[in-house]
Amino acid sequence: MHIDPLRAIASDRLALTGLAILSAIVLMAVLAPVITFFPPDHYTGRIFSPPSLSHPLGTDSMGQDIWSRLLFGARTTFLVAASVAILSTTLSVLVGASAALMGGLYESFWMRVVDAMSSIPPIIIMILVAAYLRPNLLVMILLLSILSWPGGARIVRSQVLSLKERGHVYASRTFGASWGHILKTHIAPELGPLLTAMMIQDARRAVFMDAGMGFLGVSDPMIISWGKMIQQALDFTYLDVWKWWLLPTGLALSLTLVGLCFLGFSLEAAMDPRLMRRSVEGAGEQC
């Protein structure tokens, strides 16, 4: 079944909404130094100042410009999301595809590892390790990737298993094609949309876990992150400051997650033939 992820997204209102939200936040993250007036760690002289022209969202308890921290926090979020998505999906493909193609003891070993790893909630291990080691951003990204590849590996393995039994792959093998060639020309292109969906899923989980660690106060203290901003702001709910500190930060985090969720859902729906048939039926009924 050939699905073009781009076309699936372009024809779905839900996916377009998600994409619009995400691109707006990414754009703001990229332009952060241009559209802010203060560096995020700069002490501006006044704490808890209400929104004004020079401080669009006021200042926080440390006298830092919240608007600026919000935008630079977006950079951290997307750095973590993108790195984890790429790393974890690469691991999934390496393990899943090699297990499916090699089989035997190698396959059963990795599938046992996958099963065991997916039965512990990753966030528990994250909290445990983070509490002891206070990881910096790089260690955090590595940890998140190591914890999130197993689910994807299982999916890749089952896909490759079914793909390698297809007619055109048999045909290719009778012509003497190597496994490397088959993987490149026949299997990898078919995996494309699946991998896109997996990367979105991984990115969503990474954003959530990173924010969660920040919220629990066990992330790198030198990094500006939305989770940590929420944790700090939560201590001052008795002041009016939450309206421009806690609320925008939490909404930015939520919108990012909702955007990824919409995008992932519509991709998965496009790939699920049962759901596809249903939406076709639904469309027919409306007409």
Partner 1 sequence: MKDERLSRGSIINYVIALAAIFSLNFILPRLMPGDPLHAIYGDEALVAMTPEMEAHLIRQFSLDKSWTEQLSAYLIGLLHGDLGFSYYYKDQVSAVIMGALPWTVLLTALALALATVIGVVLGIEAGSRRGRLLDSGLMTSLMFLGGFPMFFMGILLLLIFGVSLGWAPLSGAVTPYAGLEGLDYFMDLLRHLALPVTALVLVLVGDTFLITRNTVVSKLGEPFVLTARAIGCSEFAVKYAHTGRNSLLPVVTETGMRIPHLLIQTLFIEIVFSYPGIGSLLNTALYSRDYPLLQGILLLVTVLVLTVNLLVDLLYRKLDPRVRYAH
The residues of the shown chain that bind partner 1, judged by CB under 8 A, are 14, 112, 115-117, 119-121, 123-125, 127-129, 131-133, 208, 211-212, 215-218, 230, 234, 237-238, 242, 246-247, 250, 253-254, 257-262, 265, 274-275, 278, 282-283, 285-286
Tell me the closest approach of the beta carbon of residue 5 to partner 1, in angstroms: 19
Which residue, 184 or 278, is less far from partner 1 as judged by CB? 278
Q: For residues 270 and 8, what is the distance between their CA atoms, to the nearest angstrom?
A: 6
CA-to-CA dists, residue 178 to 52, 163, 165, 171, 215, angstroms: 66, 15, 15, 12, 50
Query: How many Cα atoms sit within 13 Å of 190 on the Cβ side?
Result: 18
Q: How far is the CB of 118 from partner 1 (least distance, A)?
A: 9
Q: List, in sequence order, the alpha helices (H) in the chain.
A: 5-10, 13-30, 32-35, 66-102, 104-118, 122-133, 137-163, 167-174, 179-182, 188-216, 226-234, 246-271, 273-286
Whose Cβ is closer to partner 1: residue 123's or residue 271's?
123
Q: Which amino acid, 133?
A: L
Name which of 132 and 175 has its Cβ closer to partner 1.
132
Burial class (CB in 10 A: 0-12, 13-18, 19+), 47: middle
CB of residue 64 to partner 1, shortest distance in Å: 21
Cα–Cα dist 226/241, whole Å: 16
**Which C-beta is closer to partner 1: that of 137 or that of 255?**
255
Dihedral of CA 267/273/277/280: which sign? positive
Shorter beta-carbon distance to partner 1: residue 90 or 118? 118
Least distance from C-beta 45 to partner 1, angstroms? Answer: 28
Residue 278 Cβ, how far from partner 1 at the closest point, in Å?
6
Comparing CB distances to partner 1, the nearer of 30 and 239 is 239
Judged by CB, which is closer to partner 1: 36, or 151? Answer: 151
Rounded to a whole number of angstroms, the minimum distance from the CB of residue 35 to partner 1 is: 24
- Minimum CB separation of residue 249 from partner 1 in Å reads 9
Helix (H, G, I), strand (E, B) or coil at 208: helix
Instruction: Say if residue 61 is exposed, middle or buried (CB neighbours under 10 Å; 0-12, 13-18, 19+).
Output: middle
Could you give the maximum distance between any two Cα atoms of the chain, in Å?
75
Asked whether the beta carbons of 284 and 22 are under 8 A apart, the reply is no
To partner 1, the closest distance from the beta carbon of 261 in angstroms equals: 4
Identity of the residue, 185 or 254, whose beta carbon is nearer to partner 1 in the bound complex: 254
